[in-house]
Structure 1
Amino acid sequence: MFLEMLWAAGSTFAFGILFNLKGKKLFFAGVGGALGWGVYIIFKNAEYSIPASFMFASMAITVYSEIIARILKTPVTSTLIASLIPLVPGSGVYFTMSYFVENKLDEAASKGIET
């Protein structure tokens, strides 16, 4: 779990650079990404559904971003958008389209609904 959170923080950090975050904002966005992924893993391991796990992780990131925005006196979106990046279902979209192109329509529909 720790390594997954570290990778989530790294991906958030990298996206934060593209989003033009600097200094403390970049650091706290990375922490937000790790926090969100950690909450997702905890709820997923507690046998909640994947959408519910994503919802709780998004709620945690939102509360965290609101608190950090007030501390750093910065807009919430600067931390929130970057912190949500690890939760974006990129692989789900990829596999949905892959199954669709391969004419595996049942699998495409199933993966699309899950995504």
Structure 2
Amino acid sequence: MLGMQVSFNIWDVLINLVFSYIATVGFALTVNIPHRVIHWSGICGCAGWMVYWLVTEASGGRMISNTLGAFAVGLVAVVLAKWKKCPVTLFSVPGRVPLVPGAPAYMVVRRLIDGKYIAAQQMMMRVAIVTVSIALGFLLSTLFQEAWNKYIKRLKLREKLKK
């Protein structure tokens, strides 16, 4: 399904970029991220959201879209943390915000209050799937980063032994 041709308006891309950046920076300000990295945490959130949005536009499912978006946030957070010499959490925690299913979680609570338990249960499953897929994306990005570091370490060791 991902091989399908995707067409989208440039305004859709710009709107998604701007609002994902604003959401990420707003959350970063709320949790007192240092000012020197707030912009970069916004970029991290934009990267994750754009991967999510592009996969969704390419007819990707809810789970694969969120998994790949969280994977992108994890990778970008690691790169930015090494570049800016900061903890990864300064980028990864705010970077997750655009992916978090806030509106569906609100709808679960609202339907529970209204007494619509079956509809709330169905919506709760959607929230659970998205939450698990975000966690899976971060797990995969961490595993990928550790495997990459081991690979680079082995390459350097081989180079050193050849000399």
Output the aligned Cα RMSD: 1.1
Q: Quick check: 1:105 aligned with 2:113?
A: no
2:150 — aligned with what?
A: none
2:60 — aligned with what?
A: 48
Q: Quick check: 1:68 aligned with 2:80?
A: yes
Q: Aligned match of 2:30 in 4, 14, 18? A: 18
How many matched pairs?
Answer: 115
Distance across 2 between alignment mates of 1:85 and 1:18 = 12
Q: What TM-score do you get using the length of structure 2 for normalisation?
A: 0.67
Distance across 2 between alignment mates of 1:94 and 1:14 = 20
Distance across 2 between alignment mates of 1:19 and 1:30 = 13
Helix, strand or coil for the counterpart of 2:38? helix
Helix, strand or coil for the counterpart of 1:74? coil
Distance across 2 between alignment mates of 1:81 and 1:56 = 16
Which structure would you say has the larger Rg? 2
1:59 — aligned with what?
A: 71
Deviation (angstroms), 1:110: 1.0
Deviation (angstroms), 1:79: 0.6
Q: What TM-score do you get using the length of structure 1 for normalisation?
A: 0.94
Q: Aligned match of 2:40 in 11, 16, 28? A: 28
**1:34-84 residue CA offsets vs partner (Å, 9 max, x unmatched):** 111111111111111112111100000000000000000110001110111
Which stretches of structure 1, 4 residues or longer, exceed 3 Å deviation after superposition? Answer: none
Tell which deviates more after alignment, 55-64 or 84-93. Answer: 84-93
Question: Unpaired segments of 5 or more residues in structure 1?
Answer: none
Distance across 2 between alignment mates of 1:54 and 1:76 = 20
Deviation (angstroms), 1:23: 3.6
Distance across 2 between alignment mates of 1:23 and 1:95 = 34
Tell which deviates more after alignment, 40-49 or 53-62. Answer: 40-49
Question: Unpaired segments of 5 or more residues in structure 2?
Answer: 1-12, 128-163
2:95 — aligned with what?
A: 83
Identity of aligned residues (%): 22
Which amino acid is 1:60 matched to?
A
